[in-house]
Amino acid sequence: MGASAVVWFKRDLRLADHAPLREAARLGDAVALYVVEPAWVGSAECEAQHLEFARRQVLALRECLGRRGLPLLVRWGSLPEVLAGLRSAYPFTHLLSHEETGPQWSYDRDRAVARWCREAGVIWRQWPQKGVIRGLRERAGWAARWQGRMDARIEPAPARWRGAGGLPIGEWPDARIRQAGHGAARELPAAGEAAAHDTLASFLDVRGQRYRFDISSPSSAVRACSRLSAHLAFGALSVRQVHQATEARIAALQAVGDAEARSFAYHLRGFSARLRWHCHFMQKLESEPQIEWRNVARVCDGLREQAFDRERFDAWRTGNTGYPMVDACMRCLNATGWINFRMRAMLVSFAAYHLWLHWREPGLHLARQFLDFEPGIHWSQMQMQSGTTGINTLRMYSPARQHADHDPRSEFIRRWLPEYGTAAYVRPIVDERAALHLARQRLYTLRRTPEARREAAEVQRRHGSRRGGLPPTRRRAGAGRVRDADPAQRELPFDDAGRA
CB of 448 to ligand FAD, least distance (A): 26
Q: How far apart are the first and last CA of the chain?
A: 59
Round to whole Å and give the CA distance between 493 and 389. Answer: 12
* Residue nearer to ligand FAD on the CB measure, 62 or 317: 317
Round to whole Å and give the CA distance between 439 and 352. Answer: 9
CB of 90 to ligand FAD, least distance (A): 35
CB of 59 to ligand FAD, least distance (A): 23
CB of 381 to ligand FAD, least distance (A): 3
Task: Using DSSP, state whether 235 is helix, strand or coil.
Answer: coil
Question: Using CB under 6 A as the criterion, which residues of the chain lie in contact with ligand FAD when the complex forms?
Answer: 215, 225-229, 232-233, 271, 274-275, 277-278, 281, 340-341, 344-345, 348, 370, 372-374, 377-378, 381-382, 385
CB of 289 to ligand FAD, least distance (A): 16
Longest dimension (CA), the chain: 77
CB of 234 to ligand FAD, least distance (A): 10
* Residue nearer to ligand FAD on the CB measure, 93 or 101: 101
* Residue nearer to ligand FAD on the CB measure, 74 or 339: 339
Tell me if 256 sits within 8 A of 228, measured CB to CB: no
CB of 474 to ligand FAD, least distance (A): 18
Tell me if 75 sits within 8 A of 36, measured CB to CB: yes
Burial class for 476, CB neighbours closer than 10 Å (0-12, 13-18, 19+)? exposed
Q: How many CA atoms lie within 13 A of 478 on its CB side?
A: 4
- Across the strands, what pairs with 127? 98
Burial class for 1, CB neighbours closer than 10 Å (0-12, 13-18, 19+)? exposed
CB of 339 to ligand FAD, least distance (A): 7
Burial class for 448, CB neighbours closer than 10 Å (0-12, 13-18, 19+)? exposed
> What's the helix, strand, coil split of the chain in %, to 5?
55, 5, 35
CB of 253 to ligand FAD, least distance (A): 17
- Across the strands, what pairs with 76? 36
Burial class for 135, CB neighbours closer than 10 Å (0-12, 13-18, 19+)? exposed
* Residue nearer to ligand FAD on the CB measure, 163 or 363: 363
Query: Closest Cα to residue 31, out of 76, 67, 70, 57?
Result: 70
CB of 446 to ligand FAD, least distance (A): 21
CB of 450 to ligand FAD, least distance (A): 30
The sign of the torsion formed by the CA atoms of 203, 209, 212, 217 equals negative
* Residue nearer to ligand FAD on the CB measure, 378 or 403: 378
Round to whole Å and give the CA distance between 322 and 318. Answer: 11
* Residue nearer to ligand FAD on the CB measure, 373 or 416: 373
Instruction: Look up residue 299 and give its DSSP letter.
Output: G
* Residue nearer to ligand FAD on the CB measure, 58 or 348: 348
Q: In sequence order, what DSSP letters do the residues of 64-86 get, joined into one string?
A: HHHHTT--EEEEES-HHHHHHHH
Q: At what angle do helices 239-256 and 193-205 cross, to 10 degrees?
A: 30
* Residue nearer to ligand FAD on the CB measure, 124 or 373: 373
Q: In sequence order, what DSSP letters do the residues of 145-192 get, joined into one string?
A: HHHHHHHS--PPPPS--EE--SS------HHHHHHTT--PPPP----S
* Residue nearer to ligand FAD on the CB measure, 66 or 189: 189
CB of 427 to ligand FAD, least distance (A): 26
